[in-house]
Amino acid sequence: MQQAPLPEWQTRSSNPASSITTRAHPHTASADTRHTYVTRLIESGYDAGFVSEQVGHSHAATTAIYTALSSEYKNLQVRQHLEAAEAEVPRLAFAQADLEAECDEKLASTLALQDTGSRRGA
């Protein structure tokens, strides 16, 4: 009788007469291997959802346990976010100045109309 095929992460004993199966699922990898794998994927820029899926987690918080990011990577991320924020400041300042100028123009126009209307009524 031929045995049904097993999922790729499950293997049978090397002895064909044996009915013992051995699991070789990603969760059976050593903790060091999982930490390294997850860390390298994250540091290489892979999406956290993809990394979670790769190691069989349904929640990113579980994957975070296996992440041991280097100080160099953390510093790089902080630097990139700070630079992005610094680049955003002038854009926001100019946008605010444009809005203020637009409001000033509308106010001046409204005041001019009111002044013209009050002169006609006098």
Domain ranges in the chain? 1-69, 71-122
10's enclosing H/E stretch is: strand 10-12
Q: What tens digit of pLDDT does each residue of 5-35 get?
A: 545 544 555 555 655 555 555 555 677 787 8
**Cβ pair 24, 7 in contact under 8 A:** no
From residue 108, alpha-carbon distances to 4, 91, 98, 117 in Å are 84, 26, 15, 14
Average of pLDDT values for 51-66? 84
From residue 60, alpha-carbon distances to 36, 64, 65, 77 in Å are 16, 6, 9, 19
**Global pTM exceeds 0.85:** no
pLDDT of 76 over the 60 cut: yes
